[in-house]
Homo-oligomer: A and B are copies of this chain.
Amino acid sequence: MTSPDRPRAYVIGLGLIGASVALALAQVGWSVGGEDRDADVLRAALDAGVVDGEPLDDTTTLVVIATPASSVAALASEVLARHDDEHLLVTDVAGVKGSIVAQVDDARFVGGHPMAGSEQRGMAGARADMFRGCTWVLTPTARTQPTTYGRLHGILRDIGANVVAVNAADHDRLVALASHVPHLLAGALMNEAARAAEQDAVLLQLAAGGFRDMTRIAAGDPAIWPDVLFENRAAVVQTLASLETRLGALRTALEIGDRALIGEGLRTASVARRQLPGRAFNSERLAYLRVAVSDQPGVLASVTMAASELLVNIYDIEIAHGIEGVGGTLLLAVDADQAARLLEALSKLGFAVGLEP
């Protein structure tokens, strides 16, 4: 039974994002129903209390469609056609926006895309705090009513998201560059290496950290990507073509001995990468410590306890292993103001520690 004094939402598609939206809305006072075309998923969601079993009725003021991109437009249109309440607000969470926004021509629909992890996983990973601090793109159109947009903006702020309004076409171009094309690149590089490894198995021993970083996303679930790539086909094709041109220019520069072009390209890339905003922090304020560590229980605890005792917050941590090595280097990002204190404390504990230049 829906509660008369709580606003009512309904989530269609209870995967990682849909279930997290349901949990997040419930935490800020919504009553939330939902459905999934997979009966087992729905059953699990009901059992776990992620959604209740009430249907989508006229008490519902918010519908979130969290299904794959290719099914969003039809589902949104159907919901909007079935419910003519002008207070209904329908949104979605698909990673591609242009085609959806073009198809769902209704003032009550606002396209959305929470940038919370590119690899889709099941409901088991859902969390009410998934969107705290997450950038949530909304793609209003000329038809979108300001009050509708404002309502959705407020709801998303309530669950902790940073809302950004972007034109749908711009969004698609940007995610092609920031996500879709990188995925294709990672796959192409991995396949190139796999072919070489058929002849020289030692290649895989030579694959150092850079190669691992660059191919990591290729390990993701391949099933969800063709859908996304084809939905965003125009922008992906354009970005791929532009990258091919860049790579061709680099190849020509190597062939004709144009050292200046190679050097300049690497220089501008290095500057741009270092300026990339940090993930959960402003990277200008951070210093990076390198700590040599052995792979033994307790080593990480010693290092992190030392930081904790000094009230130094570790913003980022990474272990760089030697290939097949037994030890490694811990890279810690801390406030620049606090780096010297932590460095001194770790040195006293006997760690070989240095500050990244």
Contacts and interface: CB of A to CB of B under 8 A. Distances in A.
Given A217-B210, A219-B274, A222-B270, A177 B191 contact: no
Contact of A250 (B137, B240, B280): B240
Nearest to A310: B297
Nearest to A323: B135
Nearest to A325: B133
B313 A269 contact: no
A185 B230 contact: no
Interface stretch (A1-9, A79-87, A143-151, A301-309): A301-309
A242 B265 CA distance: 21
Interface in A75-93: none
A117 B208 contact: yes
Contacts of A181: 189
A122 to B, nearest CB: 8
A340 interface: no
| Interface residues of A, dominant DSSP | helix
Interface stretch (A36-44, A102-110, A196-204): A196-204
Interface residues of A, number: 139
- A118, A121, A133, A273 pick with most chain B CB within 10 angstroms: A273
Given A203-B178, A210-B182, A248-B244, A191 B352 contact: no
Contact of A213 (B214, B268, B307): B214
Nearest to A207: B178
A48 interface: no
Interface in A144-184: 162, 164, 166, 170-171, 173-175, 177-179, 181-184
A272 B194 contact: yes
Nearest to A270: B222
B324 A277 contact: yes
A327 B117 CA distance: 13
A55 interface: no
Nearest to A224: B266
Contacts of A213: 213-214, 216-217
A321 to B, nearest CB: 4
Contact of A188 (B187, B250, B267, B327): B250
A204 to B, nearest CB: 6
A254 B162 CA distance: 33
A216 B210 contact: yes
Interface string A341-355: 000000000001010
A322 interface: yes
A285 interface: no
Given A277-B205, A297-B307, A236 B218 contact: no
17 contacts: A115-B323, A127-B292, A132-B326, A178-B208, A185-B185, A212-B276, A218-B266, A222-B266, A222-B269, A226-B263, A240-B250, A243-B247, A280-B327, A280-B328, A297-B312, A300-B308, A304-B305
Q: Which 4 A-B pairs have the closest CB atoms?
A: A133-B325, A279-B321, A187-B269, A280-B321
Given A130-B322, A213-B216, A244-B251, 13 more contacts: A131-B322, A134-B325, A164-B205, A170-B202, A183-B210, A188-B265, A218-B266, A240-B250, A279-B322, A280-B325, A280-B326, A301-B307, A316-B321
